[in-house]
């Protein structure tokens, strides 16, 4: 049962993401993942015995799948075609809005899972560990992107709040101004 208030990724963004080459996208996502793990070491600690698990992020309104391999030394995030899902230990499935809302603290993670707006598949303990690690880290993707591409940080801080209003997606941590580094 899906919460009617959850926005869907605008079709223009879905269509814009469709032709993205997955290999370069994977390089950027991996760089972001490594930065996140460096800046938030509690993410890996919180995963405990599941740190080497492979997590499939199936954001159902995106044209590709994401595979997160947090590991201990070289975390990776790779993009994969929907027609060829990669091997994984656990999956989190749901709308992009639900996942970003959980990550940025605008939506209650427990409520999203109880309402089935987000669902865990495979190794449930690993999926819950990832959900708890993300929740505890208090991540802000806008701020992290601004750090990753410093010259574009002022532009991101200006453009992403507008994109947030247009899309209805939570693109920054709700308890911080958009783009403010933590």
List, for residues 127-163, the tens digit of each pLDDT value: 999 999 998 888 998 889 889 988 988 888 888 888 8
CATH (residue range 19-140): 3.30.1050.10
CA dist., res. 153 & res. 156, Å (int) = 5
CA dist., res. 109 & res. 145, Å (int) = 23
Q: What are residue 58's DSSP bridge partners?
A: 93
DSSP string, 92-122: EEE-HHHHHHHHHTSS-HHHHHHTTSEEEEE
Looking at the whole model, is its pTM more than 0.85? yes
CA dist., res. 3 & res. 15, Å (int) = 24
Element (H, E) at 39: helix 22-39
pLDDT band of residue 49 (cuts 50, 70, 90) is very high
């Amino acid at each position: 049962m899906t919460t009617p208030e959850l926005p869907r990724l605008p079709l223009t963004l879905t269509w814009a993401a469709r032709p993205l080459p997955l290999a370069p996208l994977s390089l950027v996502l991996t760089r972001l993942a490594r930065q996140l793990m460096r800046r938030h070491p509690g993410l890996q600690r919180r995963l405990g015995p599941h740190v080497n698990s492979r997590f499939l992020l199936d954001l159902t309104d995106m044209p590709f799948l994401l595979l997160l391999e947090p590991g201990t030394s070289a975390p990776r995030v790779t993009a994969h075609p929907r027609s060829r899902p990669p091997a994984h230990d656990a999956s989190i499935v749901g709308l992009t809005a639900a996942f970003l809302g959980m990550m940025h603290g605008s939506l209650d993670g427990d409520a999203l899972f109880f309402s089935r707006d987000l669902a865990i598949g495979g190794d449930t303990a690993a999926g819950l560990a990832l959900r708890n690690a993300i929740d505890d880290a208090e991540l802000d993707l806008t701020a992290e992107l601004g750090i990753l591409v410093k010259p574009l940080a002022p532009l991101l801080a200006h453009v992403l709040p507008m994109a947030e209003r247009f899309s209805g997606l939570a693109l920054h941590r709700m308890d911080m101004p958009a783009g403010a580094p933590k």
